[in-house]
Amino acid sequence: MRALYKHHAGVGLALDDSRAKPSPGPRDVLIRVAKAGICGTDRHIWEWNPWAASRVPIGIVTGHEFVGVIESIGSAVTRFQPGLRVSAEGHITRGIDYNSRTGNAHIARGVEVIGVDRDGCFADYIVMPEDNIWPMHPDIPDTIGAVMDPLGNAVHTVMEAGVSARTVLITGVGVIGLMAVTVAKAAGASRIFCTDLDPRRLDLARKLGAVEAYDARDPAWVDDVRNNCRGEGADVLLEMSGAESAFNQGFAALRNGGKAALLGVPAKPFPFDFNANVIFKGVTLVGIYGRRMFKTWYQMEELLLSGRLELDDIITHEFPLEQFEDAFGEMISGRGIKVVLNIGD
Ligand code: ZN
């Protein structure tokens, strides 16, 4: 089969035309991949940044966001049959630690991530455990099926924060931040404020329902958000940039007693004033990782079926697998927002 894999400890990925097709274990399914989304994580692996170099084994097939069709099943699989169109939760847990057994498998110890710790989906076929399979509703198209993973990050963040009838500030409108705008709107946020550096993404955030979208480089936005929210600040902060300035300004624009859900991953540690930003403000903090298994997936499906999510403008490019260099180029340049690889026919 064809597979896009990490061929050396440096920049780039290589396409192998004759990789052995994986075979499912007794409780696995083999999936023929149709479409796969390129994620910021894949970009880190492409660029071989310090995180990737410390975590990702050479030789691994990348990619973790996909939709496809079950080709064959292991001998002990009972719930699914070949021919079913599916996506899958890419975080694999063994289900034996405290969090796995108490409804928090997304933060279980020893989580294995496809395309990072084991072979991923930028290939004609991928093997997944039966427990990770998410059957795709027939009304949800493949292009959306390819981005269930990042959409799930957005849904998880919005739902943990609780946005109904609240003012929401989103710092950073990359793919997941833009998805969070439409998800927060669908989930009943009263008014949404956004910041970013890219004017095109700010325009798109407005189109998706943000009442104000600010260039983060002009710190006057902090007072503007506070003034727009009774002089007190936004009820909810969704931090999706990982930028030091966004943490400092975002918490300054959050009202006392507000809630902050943190999804963006800072590249390195930085000083942060807990007294002013959290303790004396009585702020509630929640870290967001992955998707709740599988509460987030049910919420995501319902939001998609409601018809209230606008995702078409976020998925800007599709390329055949062979044109992976162009696909990564569009994404890394910032011209592409969400870029999808067409792998199957
Ligand atoms: Zn991803």
Same-domain check for residues 251 and 332: no
Other CB atoms within 10 Å distance of the CB of residue 48: 18
Q: Which two tokens stand for residue 279?
A: 């303790």
Instruction: Please check whether residue 273 lies inside any domain of the structure.
Output: yes
Distance 345 CA to ligand 1 centre (A): 22
Place of tokens 């399979």: 133
Strand-pairing partners, residue 113, are: 91
**Is residue 211 located within the same domain as residue 142?**
no
- The predicted-structure confidence for 200-239, as pLDDT tens digits, reads as follows 999 999 999 999 999 999 999 999 999 999 999 999 999 9
Is 60 in the same domain as 102? yes
Residues 268, 224, single domain; the answer is: yes
Contact 235, 168 (CB under 8 A): yes
Q: What is the pLDDT of residue 94?
A: 83
DSSP-assigned beta bridge partners for residue 67: 35
Query: Does 305 fall in a domain?
Result: no
Structure tokens at 190: 């009263």
In a domain, 137, yes or no: yes
Q: Is 41 a catalytic residue?
A: yes
**Does 139 reside within a domain?**
yes
Cα(40) to centroid(ligand 1), Å: 6
Q: In the predicted model, what is the mean pLDDT of the chain?
A: 97
Domain co-membership, 125 together with 184 = no
How many angstroms does the Cα of residue 297 sit away from the middle of ligand 1?
A: 15
pLDDT per residue as tens digits for the range 153-203: 999 999 999 999 999 999 999 999 999 999 999 999 999 999 999 999 999
pLDDT, position 1? 98
Instruction: Please report, for the domain that includes residue 249, its CATH number.
Output: 3.40.50.720
Q: How far is the CA of 254 from the centre of ligand 1 (A)?
A: 28
Q: Which long-range contacts (CB under 8 A, 24 or more apart) does 230-235 make?
A: 232/256, 233/258, 234/167, 234/168, 234/169, 234/193, 234/258, 235/166, 235/167, 235/168, 235/259
Task: Say how many domains are in the chain.
Answer: 2
Catalytic status, residue 284 = no
Its domain, for residue 166, covers: 153-287
Which one from 7, 44, 93, 316 is the annotated catalytic residue? 44
CA of 233 to the centre of ligand 1 (A): 31
Whether residues 164 and 127 fall in one domain: no
Question: How far is ligand 1, taken at its centre, from the CA of residue 37, in Å?
Answer: 7
> 129 and 212: one domain?
no
Give me the catalytic one of 7, 8, 41, 106.
Answer: 41
pTM over 0.85: yes
Considering the domain architecture, whether residues 25 and 106 belong to the same structural domain is answered as yes
- Cα 146 from chain centroid? 11
* Pair 104, 126 in one domain: yes
Structure confidence at residue 95 (pLDDT): 83
Q: Please indicate, yes or no, if residue 301 is contained in any of the structural domains.
A: no
Residue 303 located in a structural domain:
no
Here the CATH number for the domain that contains residue 90 is 3.90.180.10
Whether residue 72 lies inside any domain: the answer is yes
In a shared domain, residues 242 and 263: yes
Q: In this structure, what DSSP letter does residue 1 have? A: -
